[in-house]
Amino acid sequence: KPPMLLFSCAVSSAQAPASVPPNDWAHTVKLNNGVAMPLISLGTWQYSPAVAESTVRLGLSLGYNHIDAALDYKNQRSVGKALAEHDRASYFLTTKVPSRTSASSAFADTSKDLAADLEQLGLSYVDLMLVHFPPVGNTLHCAAMQEQWRALETFYRAKKARAIGVSNYCQSSLRCIARAANVTPAVNQIKYHIGMGPDPIGLRSYGDRLGIVTQAYSPLGDGTGELISGALVTGIGAKHNKSGAQVSLRWVVGHGVPVSTKSTSASLEAEDVPQGIHVPQPALERHVNPLSSAVFRCLHWIPLRCIHALLSVRCTVPSSRPDVGAFSSA
């Protein structure tokens, strides 16, 4: 998740009115267990402990009420210091645990990671706990994935998380845990931005059918300025006195997809979603960015259908693969 602009939550969607006051952070998405998740979250990936603390403190002072963290970010103690300055009910906290590959130890190891998240953050509960990614090999380690999900369900039943979900899971990952799950993941946090189309590899619509909210990270792409300063988005933005990044962010939110993004700049954190801007969705969806294809850290049921690249795996979803297992609502 590279550095990104942040913006106040002012969107036109089923969850929010078309016009709201600046810096109104109250818009939420209802998860499948009834929990209201704020639409915009402030990320902390790749920050040193000091930068993470100052960024979270700044974001909360500006009115952000959703912070995104992870055990693997190695800065949660500093995030917790900033959170400690605010009433616990005033913010929504998402964090994550890494994947596990051993079925015999996945439950115990994940339980330790869950406890470490709480200890490092200085909290008695989190609002949303995610499995950060499926293991390399994905469903080759299905039993371990199921045991890890069982640990999250136990954590959830103990009221240490208000909701649980996954990140970077594709259809085969979800089918795997569904065979043993008692609780449906509330969220699947995936890469989602212009150039991927509104339903990359059919994953968003698949989640919709299961009641799983798709949340976007990398809404401005990966390692490219095309969705910030490219001709298409800046051309649209110029017509409305908005930046190219605002157009790109508006495309994501315009599809009703919650966003996790990040910045250490006060001016960028306070930047608003453009109101009344016309974003020609078909033109944006046809826009092809060489780095914007649908890549998830997921290996499908036939391993040779996928190729490894930079710790990620690009997958082609087999159209004939039947769904296996069924989730029940939390």
Query: Which residues are marked as active site?
Result: 73
Give the three-state DSSP class for 95: strand
Helices (H), the chain: 49-62, 76-83, 106-121, 142-157, 171-178, 203-210, 226-229, 231-238, 244-254, 266-269, 281-286
CA distance 96 to 288: 31
First to last CA, the chain: 29
Residue 301 CA from chain centroid, whole number: 24
Find where tokens 């994935």 sit: 145
- 147 contacts: CB under 8 Å, gap ≥ 6: 100, 103, 106, 107, 110
